[in-house]
């Protein structure tokens, strides 16, 4: 069960957006054979090593993605991701966004095209947490372990899909005027579930890490306890 409660809330919490650095390898096969009259051989494995920028480049090379950008920004001149862009993960809404420091922002899931290019779900059925919290100041820290589900698809023959696990480390400062500064760092991985490489079935190895900071309403912290209704 995905942490879909976040999508149902009109005014969800203000958890930090996490700048996510992704990397891994997609291993696939062209699915062809070669027969020289003596030995028949299948095509060798193809390996594609990626990072966040290479994933953005794959999206950028997709006509479907370019059309989605055009629809989003109402300009043919805006059908490419600006240089210097990166991924952020909206934990509460379970969304992946390509953004930059100059105001560009494209949601891979909730965008005007209606095409789902990707998202990152938390499976709160597998969410565990341990924490410390100062009863007077509200400051503290927490470590959460959770299941995740990742989906990335460029509509151009390349896809990553899989289940994995993530660790979220939270730190929240003392309460001040109804809010507190919250920082989270995350690390996650998944292995060999499903992928496509140039339209051929493949296997992914994926990992990601990142961090983010926000000023949150005090009633929502800490994360694990807040989800289960104890704060």
Q: What local confidence, expressed as pLDDT, does residue 231 receive?
A: 52
Domain ranges of the chain: 14-28+45-227
Cβ atoms of 89 and 17 within 8 Å: the answer is yes
Q: What local confidence, expressed as pLDDT, does residue 217 receive?
A: 80
Q: What local confidence, expressed as pLDDT, does residue 27 receive?
A: 93
Q: What local confidence, expressed as pLDDT, does residue 2 receive?
A: 38
Q: What local confidence, expressed as pLDDT, does residue 229 receive?
A: 57
Q: Among candidates 210, 216, 212, 214, which has minimal Cα distance to 231? A: 216
Q: What local confidence, expressed as pLDDT, does residue 3 receive?
A: 37
Exposure class string for 155-183: b at 16+ Cβ within 10 A, else e:
bbebbbbbebebebebebbebeeebbbbe
42-54 tens-digit pLDDT: 888 889 999 999 9
Q: What local confidence, expressed as pLDDT, does residue 7 receive?
A: 40
Cβ atoms of 28 and 49 within 8 Å: the answer is no
Q: What local confidence, expressed as pLDDT, does residue 58 receive?
A: 96
DSSP one-letter code for 218: G
Q: What local confidence, expressed as pLDDT, does residue 186 receive?
A: 97
Q: What local confidence, expressed as pLDDT, does residue 177 receive?
A: 85
pTM given for the model? 0.87
Q: What local confidence, expressed as pLDDT, does residue 50 receive?
A: 96
200-215 tens-digit pLDDT: 889 999 999 999 999 8
- Low-confidence residues of the chain, pLDDT below 50? 1-10
């Amino acid at each position: 069960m995905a942490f879909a409660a976040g999508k149902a809330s009109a005014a969800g919490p203000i958890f930090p957006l996490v700048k996510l650095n992704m990397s891994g390898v997609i291993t696939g096969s062209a699915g062809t054979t070669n027969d020289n009259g003596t030995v028949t051989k299948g095509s060798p494995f193809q390996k594609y090593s990626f990072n966040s920028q290479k994933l953005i480049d794959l999206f950028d090379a997709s006509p479907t993605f370019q059309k989605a950008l055009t629809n989003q920004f109402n300009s043919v001149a805006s059908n490419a991701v600006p240089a210097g862009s990166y991924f952020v993960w909206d934990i509460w809404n379970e969304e992946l966004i390509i953004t930059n420091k100059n105001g560009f922002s494209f949601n891979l899931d909730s965008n005007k095209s209606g095409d789902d290019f990707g998202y990152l779900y938390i499976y709160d059925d597998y969410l565990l947490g341990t924490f410390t919290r100062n009863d007077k100041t509200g400051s503290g820290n927490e470590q959460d372990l959770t299941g995740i589900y990742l989906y990335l698809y460029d509509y151009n023959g390349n896809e990553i899909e899989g289940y994995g696990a993530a660790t979220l480390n939270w730190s929240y400062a003392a309460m001040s005027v109804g809010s507190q500064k919250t920082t989270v760092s995350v690390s996650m991985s998944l292995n060999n579930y499903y992928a496509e490489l140039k339209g051929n079935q493949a296997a992914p190895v994926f990992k990601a890490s990142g961090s983010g900071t926000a000023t949150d309403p005090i009633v929502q912290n800490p994360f694990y306890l807040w989800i289960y209704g104890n704060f």
